Structure formats: C-alpha cells, structure tokens
Structure 1
Amino acid sequence: MKKTSLLLSLLALLVFSFTSASALDKEQMIKEWERAKAYTQVYLETMPEDGYDFKPSADIRSFAQQLLHLADANYSFGSLASGMKSPFERGAMEKAEDKSKAATTKMVLDSYDFVINALKGMTDAQMKEMVKFGNRGEMSKELVFAKAFEHQTHHRGQTTIYIRMKGIKPPNEMLF
C-alpha cells in the first residue's frame, strides 16, 4: 500500500511538473531577446577599442570573433526557425575584415534585430512546426529559438574573462 501511494504521489508530481512547465510564449521570448540585445550591447560598449582583437590565449577567438560568431549563429538559427533568408552566408560575420568596435557592434546588434523581427513575424502555430536541425534530427521552431538564445548567452558569457583580463569590471548581470 505504501509503495502504491508513493508511486501515485510521484506520478502526480511528474504530471503536474510537465503540465505547469510550459514554454515561454512568443511575446515573452521577444522581451527576452530584447533584454539579451541590451545586455550584449553593454558588453560591446565596455570593451575598449584596443580590446576587440584581444585573445586571452593564441588558440581561441578574439573578443570580436566571439561576438561575431554569436552574430553568425543568430542569423543562422533565426533563419532556420523563421524561414526568413539570412542576409549573410554562414560564418560571414566572423570572417569580416573590419572587426573594429564600431563595425562589430553594428553587426552583432543587427543580428539581434534579425532574430527579434523573425520572432515578431511568427504565429503560435508556426512556432510549433518542426524543422530539420542538421544531423540532430527535427525540433520545433520554438526550440530552435531557445537553442539560439542559449548559444548567444554562452558566447557573451565567455567574453567576461576577456574584459576582466583587460583590467575592466565586466557588466553586472541583467536577468530582468
């Protein structure tokens, strides 16, 4: 009897957690991307011009390359999820010759605008549609946007050490 009761309690908890943990709605996702753009802009502003080519180690990306890689992915993920054609070839941002503070900032912030506008153009039904995600199989367009968000957060976070190594206090977190 105790085992049955425990099992039913666990099952009820599991069902409750799945039904109450719904994905972000589209409007909340747009707000989160707008917040992420503002946060990334603070990172771009914090690093001085002479830090854009800085590499903490010779075998990793420079500060500019990290953020331009983030921009490349924003275009790639946003295009896949929305069906909008990216204005750039995959990898074009990171390969850009001009990696100055002004050029990098513009390219990175424009990539956020692309994702935000892609989200704004989507319907709830479209967000649930499935797309092929490389060799990882199919996933919902909503999940592609979530993966893009995780990716940009990861690479922005990596640049914190670049800023610290230049002797500058990195931006405070902007969770809200």
Structure 2
Amino acid sequence: MKVIKQMVVAVSLVGISAMAPVVRAQQGWEKVAPGTMIAPAEALNSLLSMTEIQMISLVKALPADKYGFAPSAAIFAPGQRTEYAGVRTFGALVIHVAQANYALGSHLSGLKPDIDLTLLPKLKYKDEIIAALEDSFAFDHKAIGTITNANAFEDIGGRTPSGATIPSTRSTQAAYIAVHASDEYGQMVEYLRMNGIAPPASGAPAPPKK
C-alpha cells in the first residue's frame, strides 16, 4: 500500500509540473471561492483556454523553416518498421486544428466563420498559420459564449469518426473542441522532439527564434 501511495504522489507531481506553465499564464484570471456555481460558457471557455495556451506556445516554439517537416522513415534507425505515408507536415497539422475549431464551433453555436475557410489550406508561412490558429480559438470562445444554463445540454446531434449519428449536446461539443485540440497537441509535441526541441510546457527554455 505504501508503494502505491508513493506512485500516486509521484504521478501527481508530474502532472502538476506539466501544468505549471498553464497555471502561470492563468494567474490573471479571476479567482472564485470553492463551491461557487460557474456558468457553463465560462467553465467550458476556461477548459479550452488551457489547451489553447499550451498549443500556441508550442507552435511558436518550432522554427519557421521546420513548418514543412513531416516524420518519415528516413529519420529512424535502419531496419526499424515505420509507416508515415501521407502524414501531415507540422504546418498542415496546425491548419487542421484551425479548420476543426471552426467546424466544431460553428456546429455547436450556429455562428458562421468570418473568414473564407477554403483559404486555410493555402497558408504557407509560420506567422500566418499561427494567426489563423489564434483566430480559430477566438471564434470558438465566441461560439462557446452562446451556451447558457438553458441550452447547455440541448442535443445538437453528432457523428462518430465512422459517420454514425450519436447524441451530442452543446456542452459535449464544446468539450470536444478541447479534446480534439489536445489530441493534435500530443502529435505536435512529437514533431518538436523529432527536431530536438522540448515543448515549452515541459519547462524547457525556448529555442532561439529564427
């Protein structure tokens, strides 16, 4: 039992240290007393902000000349089995998140993006790709802001990756925006590490700007 308790403490400390950069970035947020009832939109926007803060710092950490990088068998040891055919470049992965943000936010709120989404895949440069990602998160915060106590758990319909229709409320759709971005964030971390760069959330110093 003592060993198990020690393991739990160790895992907890790792989780706390990983979230440290996010906590520092959120120190300006208004503090509320424990037990305070928080509006659904405020709670869900806070959830999204945690993912957003980590992702924006990560995409800024990779040098511009690496935005065309995609994993390939060539970077692994000879004889090691790998399959990366058709894998996205880092820049394309960031654009994918922006596209998904707009699609999911629009679905949950009915709001229409104020940009031409067909232009997103044509973006090439780091600064414009990051700007598009930031704009997509801003759109999602606005979309989540339409969630109220009355409609938070109203079914708006959803689909599984296989195309099956499933129940999905405005709140679950809002949470999924953060879930999807977090999944892609995990992939982005590997792109950075393959290029010898530790993600900012690890507490490592940022690489020199290029």
TM over 0.5: yes
C-alpha distance in 1 between matches for 2:143 and 2:111: 7
Distance 1:51 1:62, change over 3 A: same
- Give the unaligned 5+ runs of structure 2: 1-38, 73-84, 204-210
Equivalence for 1:9: none
C-alpha distance in 2 between matches for 1:172 and 1:88: 30
Q: Secondary structure at the match of 1:169?
A: coil
C-alpha distance in 2 between matches for 1:170 and 1:156: 10
- The letter for the 1-side match of 2:91 is A
Structure 2 residue corresponding to 1:69, chosen from 96, 103, 110? 96
Is 1:149 matched up with 2:149? no
Alignment of 1:136-175 (within 5 A): 136-172=165-201
Identity across the alignment (%): 27
* Over 3 Å off, 4+ runs: 87-92
Structure 2 residue corresponding to 1:37, chosen from 38, 48, 52? 52
C-alpha distance in 2 between matches for 1:85 and 1:118: 9
Equivalence for 1:21: none
For the 8 Å contact 2:151–2:170, the answer to whether it is kept is yes
Equivalence for 1:108: 133
Relative to its length, the structure with more helix (as a share) is 1
Alignment of 1:55-134 (within 5 A): 55-57=70-72, 58-88=85-115, 93=120, 95=121, 97-134=122-159
Count of equivalent residues: 149
Q: Secondary structure at the match of 1:85?
A: coil
Equivalence for 1:27: 42
For the 8 Å contact 2:156–2:168, the answer to whether it is kept is yes
1:12-32 Cα shifts (integer Å, max 9, x gaps): xxxxxxxxxxxx933121112
C-alpha distance in 2 between matches for 1:122 and 1:29: 9
- Give the unaligned 5+ runs of structure 1: 1-23
Equivalence for 1:51: 66
Distance 1:173 1:136, change over 3 A: farther
Deviation for aligned residue 1:90? 6.2
CA RMSD of aligned residues (A): 2.1
Equivalence for 1:10: none
**If the length of structure 1 is used for normalisation, what is the TM-score?**
0.76
Deviation for aligned residue 1:88? 4.9
C-alpha distance in 2 between matches for 1:89 and 1:126: 29
For the 8 Å contact 2:54–2:201, the answer to whether it is kept is no
